[in-house]
Structure 1
């Protein structure tokens, strides 16, 4: 990192902390003690109101918060941002009703002419094959804000079989295979569930007290919250390496990948009303999967294939 870039980031770092030590700067910016001291002198030269207190509990202090210069990006950071934006291009719905095209236009217009030329060359040399969004999900913003604010929502949820009303506390939203999903605690059923966002036809903010404190839950460990009901059915399937790759591309909170005696298995559970879903999910593995248990799941899979053959 160039010194000018490091000083710019350092200004923002100390402006946020107010009090810092040399060790803080050395650890944050991966620099030596000598470089940290020189950087502090450079910051003082450009007007940063820094003073030092000596002693056991001493350190550097910022007298008052500074008005910081605009954020600037180097060429590599600009290219990385452009790559990240391309991931948005396949989604017609995004939280906060921001379209990819408006972001893309503002981004391109803010670049220098040479940077714009390089971006155009990248566009002609890199192909992004994203899964297109299949169905619209109009309530993403409300679902995400409810997760941020720890709010409970009343939703109307429509499945191919029926439509009903639920009270849920959203935990997180994510996109997979062209659909948006919402991880949530179903207050009505007192269980953790995943909802397809395009099937949520209406939402309403409630005054219901949230069941869980989302500040203690990270999106990546939220899967551990999913617990089976008393009627849930456990399953175990043997998969080959192609099956492992397929599982890594599409998986759900009620299942996990394990290894036993150098063989890979999917283990998990499904609720009785999710039988059709789990059969179609296992079908997507093709010949890469072999159901170990339960036997009834094997029978349903055979019936599915028989129905397909009968329709040929």
Structure 2
């Protein structure tokens, strides 16, 4: 390993430590004591702050350091990063405050003029055709924050109130979803982030450990014994892409389209209201019991309309 490469790696190695011994560096990089001392002198010159503690066991103590080596990318790596950047352009909402144009501008300002021209040509030649959604996820940043911090929150969603703990955030077809533990019925539910109307953190209540929620999620999967498969006409495929959920997949088999999924018995009302959007183009419903429940759902809707 060249000295410059070794120093860069050493910066990363030491940046996460509070203290170290000279022997740590000697053994990791297989270098002599004199070489290790010269390397430490070089690191100190480029900003790594530390002092020598000449106690019984002797050690080096690091001060607050945020010194990291400059990251260098190959051309292929830059193209891959820029493509990843372009992919977020279609999102209506992002879980951070920076906007696409701002990030893009900073990226292009930090590459060579020749590479900048190549990236402009690359951007003009590639196009991502994804479903654009008109509704913003106003609380996406908070959802991510509360999820990371394992917070228990009150969520206002579709005119209802839930006490939840966010578990996992999912992006699908440029739409954001969050899986959360619902303290009300003690199960994992999936919510659309753009339908969240407000969040209040319960400061006094401590959330569940992630391991506990993972275990509950595993049990929920076992309990999701209600499987269904609904064939729909090709004219309704776009309807699926306008609004879809991680627990319901669209599958194509020999030119036929099927909505396939599974649900917890407590989620039946949600599944019925979702499938109702496709009733005009439904061809087949399995199981038959679900068809009966869907008919009952529509009878209740008609009954309500007749009373108006």
TM range (shorter): 0.5 to 0.7
How far off is 1:5 after superposition?
Answer: 4.9
Partner of 1:176: 172
**1:99 partnered with 2:99:** yes
Report the Cα distance in structure 1 between the residues aligned to 2:153 and 2:275, rounded to whole angstroms.
30
**1:20-31 alignment, distance < 5 Å:** 21=24, 25=28
Q: Deviations over 1:148-169 (max 9, x none)?
A: 12212212111xxxx2111111
Q: Is the 8 A contact 2:26 2:36 kept in 1?
A: no
Distance change (3 Å), C-alpha of 1:40 and 1:267:
farther
Report the Cα distance in structure 1 between the residues aligned to 2:116 and 2:176, rounded to whole angstroms.
32
Report the Cα distance in structure 2 between the residues aligned to 1:86 and 1:142, rounded to whole angstroms.
24
**1:129-140 alignment, distance < 5 Å:** 129-140=129-140
How far off is 1:104 after superposition?
Answer: 1.1
One of 156, 160, 164 as aligned partner of 2:160: 164
How far off is 1:139 after superposition?
Answer: 0.7
Distance change (3 Å), C-alpha of 1:280 and 1:46:
farther
The worse-fitting range, judged by mean Cα deviation, of 116-125 and 188-197 is 116-125
Partner of 1:126: 126
Partner of 2:114: 114
Gaps of 5+ in 1: 27-32, 52-57, 240-245, 258-265, 305-312
Gaps of 5+ in 2: 45-49, 232-239, 252-259, 298-308
Partner of 2:11: 11
Length, aligned pairs only: 261
**1:279 partnered with 2:291:** no
Partner of 1:308: none
Distance change (3 Å), C-alpha of 1:2 and 1:177:
farther
Report the Cα distance in structure 1 between the residues aligned to 2:137 and 2:179, rounded to whole angstroms.
15
Q: Is the 8 A contact 1:93 1:99 kept in 2?
A: no
Report the Cα distance in structure 2 between the residues aligned to 1:3 and 1:79, rounded to whole angstroms.
29
- Give the structure with higher Rg (CA): 2
Q: Is the 8 A contact 1:134 1:179 kept in 2?
A: no
Partner of 2:287: 294
How far off is 1:14 after superposition?
Answer: 2.6
Report the Cα distance in structure 1 between the residues aligned to 2:135 and 2:262, rounded to whole angstroms.
28
TM-align CA RMSD: 4.7
Q: Provide the secondary structure at the position in 1 that maps to 2:89.
A: coil
